[in-house]
Chains A and B, each alone.
Chain A
Amino acid sequence: MFEKILTKARMLSPWVLHFDCGSCNGCDIEVLACLTPVYDLERFGIINTGNPMHADIFLVTGTVNHRNKQVLRNLYDQIPEPKVVVALGACGLTGGVFREAYNVVGGVDKVIPVDVYVPGCPAKPEAIIDGVVLGLEKFRQKASAMHS
């Protein structure tokens, strides 16, 4: 019973952790633009938090490189279960335009499991909001699987 209420409450107010994992800033400023008055994610109860331990949804932008893959892994491990990872932009999906560069490992899914892929270079705020909402559905499934 308590778990059901908890899952419902978390669904209504998912907190987001954003990590720039070697992107060109294009997607990052679009993530921030989602929080501002024109798109206003906060009306859905979504708050951008700086602390991984408070987060439910992990937004990752950009390619993974050999230096920041450990940071990405650490952040992922610190987020409590259930958690959803949303990879943003062409770089976060596959490495995008940088995939042949020598210091690029590839997409985010090379290091951590990804639930939602949002394409675009950079991904538009509408697409990011859509991705987060799709992620919420995954979040509900994971939460109910965890409690059953």
Chain B
Amino acid sequence: MTKTIIPFGPQHPVLPEPVHLQLTLQDEVITEAIPAFGYVHRGLEKLAEIRDFQQMIYVVERICGICSMIHAMCYCQGLEEMMGIDVPPRARFLRVIWSELHRIHSHLLWMGLFADSFGFESLFMQCWKIREKILDIDEATTGNRVVISVNVIGGVRKDLNAEQIHWILSELKDVEKETLRLETTIMTDYTVKKRTVGKGVLTRQQAYELGLVGPVLRASGIAQDSRMLGYAAFNEIDFAPVVETDGDCYARCKVRFREIFQSIDLIRQAIAKMPDGELAVKVKGRPEGEVVSRVEQPRGEVFYYIKANGKKNLERVRVRTPTFANVPALLAMLPGMWLSDVPVIVLSIDPCISCTER
């Protein structure tokens, strides 16, 4: 049988983002996958030369719309460390609350798209229906549904009052109840299992050697999560990473599914322990020096390197996003799989192309 070359993307119904994969097939089995990137590259790191360090928060939030708050949090934490600013405790807890809300909405979004990748459209609709509740919380507390812009250097801009907290807790109860109802479908359904169990297996050793991050790594049995560093207020909250050992697409689905409940629990803990007080401290002077900042995004660890020389504009901002670390896993998993499994495997790493290419 001769080889066939099939292009996957840049415009593909399953993946909303433009990424191009050139798949070489022998019959129906993939022998080689070559990715081509650059369709979303805008050159945001270079914008640091035009925008000053305060305005850059606005830019880094738009690296990725899905985890915008966490990008901004990572950037602000880096600069706070560089400038020696102590963030007020209430602001740190508020950051935990909003970042975990972002994680829930991102995981529900992913689960919907994942269900869509094997044609389970009603599960897609259910996941996105639950997700709207989280977006309502974002809109009610910050004024925008997706890009919430709450972080400033030195703290946060918005506060939660007692009434809002009460409402958030009751909404979260609904989210938890409705997500639990999906559990039977995801954990026991024949269709879901048939399309995901045993597909794209990565062993513990492979996952370690490829340098993966986030749920893809944790699904292969390695308990690594940047939240264990205790940034923001995670050092004052009980936290243990969610781990699965099978390393296939199903295990990745289970990790993300369990992380939704974990995030709900983290928000409850943060709300219970949140002290009263200031929201932000005033920033004086200009940053100087270099710093590395790491936080956990829904897709894995994001890494910021910031270098400043005492001027208004930063000298260098370098971002390494989780999808960039997880793309090698994709290329390791695809050979030997069927063409019909490509959407499932591509989505199992939760690719965020606009993060990767910036």
* Chain A interfacial positions (CB closer than 8 Å to B): 18-33, 36-38, 49-52, 62-63, 65, 67-68, 71, 75, 96-98, 100-104, 121-122, 124
Docked CA distance A71–B18 (Å): 10
Q: Count CB-based A-B contacts (< 8 Å).
A: 122
B129 part of interface (Cβ distance < 8 Å): yes
Let me know if A27 and B65 touch, CB within 8 A.
yes
Cα A101 to Cα B50 in complex, Å, equals 9
Contacts of B38 in A (CB 8 A): 67
List the one stretch of B8-16, B154-162, B169-177, B308-316 in contact with chain A: B8-16
> Which of B11, B18, B39, B354 has most chain A Cβ within 10 Å?
B11
Bound complex: CA of A51 vs CA of B125, how far in Å?
21
Evaluate contact between B47 and A101: CB separation under 8 angstroms. yes
Q: When the two chains form their complex, are residues A103 and B41 in contact, meaning their CB atoms are under 8 A apart?
A: yes
B→A interface (CB under 8 Å): 10-14, 16-18, 38-44, 46-47, 50, 58-59, 62-66, 68, 109, 112, 124-125, 128-129, 131-132, 135, 145-147, 352, 354
Find the B residue at minimum CB distance from A38: B132
Establish whether residues B146 and A26, one from each chain, have CB atoms under 8 Å apart when the complex forms: yes
Judging by beta carbons under 8 Å apart, are A29 and B129 in contact?
A: no
C-alpha gap A33/B128 in the complex (Å): 7
* Given known A-B contacts A30-B146, A98-B42, A104-B42, A68 and B128 have beta carbons under 8 A apart: no
Docked Cα-Cα span, A143 to B38, in Å, equals: 36
- Residue of chain B at shortest CB distance from A100: B50
> A24 contacts B125, CB within 8 Å?
no
Residues of B within 8 A of A26 (CB): 62, 65-66, 68, 146-147
B62 CB contact (under 8 Å) in A51, A67, A98: A98
Instruction: Pick from A31, A96, A97, A102: contact of B46, CB below 8 A.
Output: A102
Contact: B354 with A101, CB < 8 Å? no
27 pairs, CB–CB < 8 Å, chain A vs chain B: A18-B16, A19-B11, A20-B354, A22-B39, A23-B65, A24-B63, A24-B68, A25-B16, A25-B64, A25-B352, A26-B68, A29-B109, A33-B132, A36-B129, A38-B132, A52-B11, A62-B40, A65-B40, A67-B38, A68-B18, A68-B40, A71-B10, A97-B58, A100-B50, A101-B42, A121-B62, A122-B145
